[in-house]
Amino acid sequence: MANSITWLSHAFFQIETSGGKLIFIDPWITDNPLCPIKLRDITRAELVLVTHDHFDHASDAADISKKTGAVVVGCPETVGKLKTGRALPEGQVIFGGFGMNIGGTAQIGEISVTMTQAFHSSETGVSTGYIVRLEDGTTIYHAGDTGIFEGMRLFGELYGIDIALLPIGSCFTMDPFQAAHAVKIIGPKKVIPMHYMTFPILEQDASRFVSLVKEKAPEVEVVVLNPGEKHSWGR
């Protein structure tokens, strides 16, 4: 079975692993103008990763977990908000209900999830990113909502990123210029742009980002997806 990643718009991704596991990152379905699915379409999941508590990243995390039994990963204060405000069962939160924090790694079967820093705001806890290593060793970096920072270079050195999921929308995150430089310092094999097009104040397409990556990091493959489109790799 091949691995696949589906962009469900904004920062919302579905990863299906070669081992048959289903991972959702920053699920935003309710009132998302670009999301191609409904909550009823999700019938199973093993993991739900939440980078921070803004509505466009966390609003459907608890409902997906309650529906599927998926384990939710997030920082302690953010999962606490989901427990008290969205009735997320404590037993469905990583590390016995505590959540985790920046620098921590959770091992869920053959999949590991490492929480990284991100530079952004959050009402609870802090904003984060994730480095996810799949069963076959593929490493995916979801940067979360963030500006560019030098530590991204270290992530590339430490983890050997295969696929980077980077925001390009500007206003709330990196713009295409910064994001293209982030590609250069991370050095992934592939990059998928995210967090654009959803609102009028964001960058409306990925064309400038694609051109800048070709200039700054021509060895990196840019995979531009439309909402609902899937990228597969492996056998």
**Residue 68 pLDDT more than 70?**
yes
Closest CA to 142 of 100, 191, 198, 109: 191
Instruction: Confirm if 130 and 115 have CB atoms less than 8 A apart.
Output: yes
Over the stretch 2-35, which tens digit does the pLDDT of each residue have? 999 999 999 999 999 999 999 999 999 999 999 9
Q: What is the reported pLDDT for 144?
A: 98
Q: What is the reported pLDDT for 235?
A: 64
Instruction: Give dist(CA 48, CA 80) in Å, integer.
Output: 15
Over the stretch 172-230, which tens digit does the pLDDT of each residue have? 999 999 999 999 999 999 999 999 999 999 999 999 999 999 999 999 999 999 999 99
Instruction: Give dist(CA 44, CA 138) in Å, integer.
Output: 22
> Mean of the pLDDT values across residues 38-47?
98
Over the stretch 102-130, which tens digit does the pLDDT of each residue have? 999 999 999 999 999 999 999 999 999 99
**Residue 1 pLDDT more than 90?**
no
Which domains, from first to last, does the chain contain? 3-229 (3.60.15.10)
* Per-residue pLDDT band at 45 (split at 50, 70, 90): very high
* Per-residue pLDDT band at 234 (split at 50, 70, 90): confident
Q: Is the pTM of this model over 0.85?
A: yes
DSSP secondary structure, the chain, as one string: --EEEEE-STT-EEEE-TTS-EEEES---TT-TT----GGG----SEEE-S--SHHHHTTHHHHHHHH-PEEE--HHHHHHHHHHH---GGGBTTTTT---TT-EEEETTEEEEEEE--S--SSS--EEEEEE-TTS-EEEE--S----THHHHHHHHH--SEEEEE---SSS--HHHHHHHHHHH--SEEEEES-SSSTTS---SHHHHHHHHHH-TTSEE----TT-EEEE--
